[in-house]
Amino acid sequence: MDERIEAPHGWTRQHTGVETRYECRAPQSILTMGSEAIRLAMEQARISWSDVDLLIDCSTSRYRPIPCNAAHYLNLAGTSARGIPCFDIQSTCLGFLVALNAVNGLFAAGGYRNIVLVASECAMKGVNWKQPESAGLIGDGAAAAVLASTPPFGPLLMVHETYAEHLDLCKVNGGAHYMTAMEYSEDRMSDYLFDMNGPAVFRVALGRLPRMVRSLVAEWQSLPENQSRSVSDLHIIPHQASPRALDVVRGLLNSDEHHFHSQVRDVGNMAAASLPFMLDWCLRTHRIPTTGPFMLLGTSAGYAQAAMILSQGPGGFEQAPVSEESQSC
C-alpha cells in the first residue's frame, strides 16, 4: 500500500491504523467471492436453491451497469436457481442494513420463506491513490446471509436518516448520467474514482450519530422486557469505517471494548460487506450471544446513518463455518 501511494514504508499503518486488508484479483471477482459467501450461508442454513424465494444483492460494487448483480449470481448457480426473482439494493456502506429492513417488510407482507442477501465488494479497483487517507482504508471482501420468516420473532427496531446537504463529501462523479462513461478521458480519471473528504464526514458523524443511537436505545428500553437494561447491555457491531473513527464512536457511546466489536485493522473498510462480515465473525468467534440483543450501526455516502437492534428467540442466530482460506477471500 505504501508503494502504491508513493509513501515511506509504514505510512499507511501510521496514518490509517489499518494493518491488513485483502484485494480481489483475477481470476477472483465480486461474483466468485459473492457466490462462495452465498454457498456457505445456504449450507449453514441447510437450504438449497429450491428453498430460496428471493435473492437480493446489496453491494456498492457493480459487476456490470446492466443487468443487476443479483441476476449474475443466479446465472452462475445454473438451472437449480432458474426462475427465482432477484434485484439489487444500493445504499453504499449501509446496503446490508437497508436490505434487512426491506426484507422485514417483505416477510410481514407474506409470501416469502427464505431470502438470501449478498454483499460483495472490490472497491480497491476504484480508489484514488492520490488520496492515501481514504485509499489506505479500503479492503475487498464478501458476505451473505439467509433470512427466514420462521417464528418466534424478536423485536426489530431501526432508525435511518439522510442529510443530503452533505452528499458531495463522499462520491464518485463519473460513470452514470451526471458524467457518463463515454465522457471519460485520462485527464479526468479522478472524476471516475472514489473521492471522500474523510475529516468532514467524520465531523458530520460525530455531530449526528450519537443522538440517533440514543433515540434508538431509548425506544428499545421502552419495551417491557428491556426497561431495566442500559446501552451497556447491547453488543454493538459497527460498520468498519476506520480504526480511529470507531475508537471515537465507542467512547461517545460509552461502550466497553467487550461490547463494541471491530476488526477493521485486519480487513479494512469493506463497504456494504462490512456489517454482514462482522456479524458472521462475531457469532463465529462467540463474541456475541446468539440470541442477541445487538445493534448494527453504520454510515454511508449521502450522508446517511442507520442503526438496527436485533434480538432473537430461543433458536438464536446461526453462522456459516468459514475456513481461514475462505475468510481470506
Encode pLDDT of 172-181 as tens digits.
999 999 999 9
- Whole-number pLDDT of residue 109: 85
Assign 134 to helix, strand or coil: helix
In sequence order, what are the beta bridge partners of 196? 170
What is the strand order of the sheet 54-57 is part of? 86-88, 54-57, 114-121, 141-148
Ordered by start, the domain boundaries in the chain are: 11-151, 155-328
Please give the CATH number for the structural domain made up of 11-151: 3.40.47.10
In this model, does residue 312 exceed pLDDT 80? no
- Give the global pTM: 0.91
d(CA 134, CA 301): 13
Identical fold, 11-151 and 155-328: yes
Q: Closest by alpha carbon to 237, among 46, 35, 97, 90?
A: 97
Interacting residues of 250 by C-beta distance below 8 A, sequence separation 6+: 236, 257, 260, 262
In this model, does residue 182 exceed pLDDT 70? yes
Please give the CATH number for the structural domain made up of 155-328: 3.40.47.10
Encode pLDDT of 188-215 as tens digits.
999 999 999 989 999 999 999 999 999 9
Residue 165 amino acid letter: E
- Whole-number pLDDT of residue 175: 92
